[in-house]
A and B are shown apart, each in its own frame.
Chain A
Amino acid sequence: MKKVEAIIRPEKLEQVKRALEKRGFFPMTVTEVRGRGAQKGICLQFRGKKIEVDLIPKVRIDMVVPDSDVTPIIEIIRAEGRTGKNGDGKIFITHVEMVAAVRTDEIIMV
């Protein structure tokens, strides 16, 4: 099992969500977050006066999936979430040791 943690543009959420749905990747947790990447946010110029906007609103999608699903999910998020400009986001993949359901006693050890 792997955890896919994608940080994307908020305005791309609907698009990404629908595309994932279409391919059968349904369960996800979505969080509104703010952050910055390598570009240190956005710098607005006002007639010489600078305004730094260093924490930009993004959306985080968390999904825990079988290893084999990771590559297609990355492809979908890239295809739908990309604008080509700075700030499109990142996808992190981490190993998941255990998944325990709350409603039942089911435990998936990986």
Chain B
Amino acid sequence: MPIDSGDTAFILICTAMVMLMTPGVGLFYGGMVRKKNLISMIALAFIAFSLVTIQWTCVGYSLAFGSDIGGFIGGLDFLGLTGVGMDGEGIPDLLFMAFQLVFAGLTLAILTSGIAERIKLGSFIVFGLLWTTLVYDPLAHWAWGGGWAATLGALDFAGGTVVHISSGFGALALALVIGKRVGFGQYSMEPHNIPMTLLGGALLWFGWFGFNAGSALAANGLAASAFVVTNISAAAGALAWMGASWINGKPSSLGMISGGLAGLVAITPAAGFVNPLAAIVIGVVAGLLCYAALLFRVRKGLDESLDAWAVHGMGGLWGALATGIFATAAIGGVDGLIYGNPGQFVIQAIDAFVAMGYAFGVTLVLAKLVDMTIGLRVTEEEEYVGLDIAQHGESISA
């Protein structure tokens, strides 16, 4: 199949849109932390993206998309992007590599939720390299590189397990290892700049069109369908979470945008397989479920600070299962539970729970390893002053 100029143009743009999601996550998180950690939070997102870019170029792409080894990991055929060139199936191999790279970078940035306001930068760099190599790359291989999940027939259109379950449950494991922020639960840690969080949310919602529609890897009807259901699910999630929080008090903008993200997360694996009406259901359930997960976390006194677990982890889990429920052959060629194919639901469940267990378990081990050797946390005094000054020597106050 020769290079298609339309497809290539479209995926180039989608890749740039997904790149913008990473600083988007930084702004989204940055608005939710205290003022003294704002620079740190945005910087962590950029640093995650830069780290993964280099790792992906050297080994990551090969581990994810190299020739299959035992269904678990890719081989070393593409080390240093050897043999990844300007030719390809519809789009250049180099572009496919770059499109996959921006997903990997974003995933590590989402993970910073669990370590916000207390992570030592050097430790994050070491941990991040280990994590993207040992957690993200295998998961990407399982789903898209010809690994066991793909062989089993698991559907993950744009990364419900690879991006969201991995970062969500990874953030939970990381938060358990690094421990709570000093004063968590004792005094208020209100978001210091909600408009910034909304701006981050806007960039995420926008970038998600590239994320999901681009996962069709072509400028075609499937991309349009994915684009449409993505938007519907996001809107349904935003309204559902807002409605639920309205019953509990005031309809906060933070709840609304979190619900939007929950809807986006949940539709991610399903984007190329479900119709618009299913997208409404997926979004509504995502908004309510992720809100319930957040309330559960707060009740349990867990300091998974910015709710990657509640939104990405639980939303991703629901999305993977929902794909097995609502998939229709009319769109993606595969039927799910409600179209008389319960087997697909079982496959989705196996895929989701294995990904969940793997991401949580391996993250726990890696975090412990880094903690016992170089320590994950800054000192209490540095935490009090804030990571902006303590880690970067910068401050947003005059």
A57–B38 Cα distance when bound, in Å, is: 15
**Does A51 reach chain B (CB closer than 8 Å)?**
yes
Given the known interface contacts A11-B183, A14-B188, A51-B389, the answer about A44 and B381 at a Cβ–Cβ threshold of 8 Å is yes
Q: Does A78 touch B at the CB level, under 8 Å? A: no
| B residues contacting the other copy or chain, number (CB 8 A) | 14
Known: A53-B385, A57-B36. A11 touches B187 (CB 8 A): yes
Contacts of B379 in A (CB 8 A): 44
**A interface, how many residues as a size bin?**
10 to 19
Q: In this assembly, does B393 line the interface, its C-beta being within 8 Å of a C-beta of chain A? A: yes
Q: By the criterion CB–CB under 8 Å, are B381 and A42 in contact?
A: yes
**B393 contacts A51, CB within 8 Å?**
yes
Majority DSSP secondary structure for residues of A touching B: strand
Cβ contact within 8 Å between A57 and B397: yes
A96 within 8 Å of B (CB atoms): no
Q: Is A90 part of the contact surface with B, judged by Cβ < 8 Å?
A: no
Per-residue contact bits, chain B 361-398, to A (CB 8 Å; 1 contact, 0 not) = 00000000000000000010110110001100100010
Contacts of B35 in A (CB 8 A): 57
Contact of A42 among B36, B188, B385, B397 (CB under 8 A): B385
The chain B residue with its CB closest to the CB of A51 is B393
- With known contacts A42-B384, A44-B381, A53–B389 Cβ distance under 8 A: yes
Bound-state Cα–Cα, A27 to B284, Å? 44
- Pick from A15, A53, A56: contact of B187, CB under 8 Å: A15
24 contacts between A and B (CB under 8 A): A11-B187, A11-B188, A12-B187, A14-B187, A14-B188, A15-B187, A34-B397, A42-B381, A42-B384, A42-B385, A44-B379, A44-B381, A44-B382, A44-B385, A44-B389, A44-B390, A51-B389, A51-B390, A51-B393, A53-B385, A53-B389, A56-B385, A57-B35, A57-B397
Q: Lowest 4 A-B CB distances belong to which pairs? A: A11-B187, A14-B188, A53-B385, A53-B389
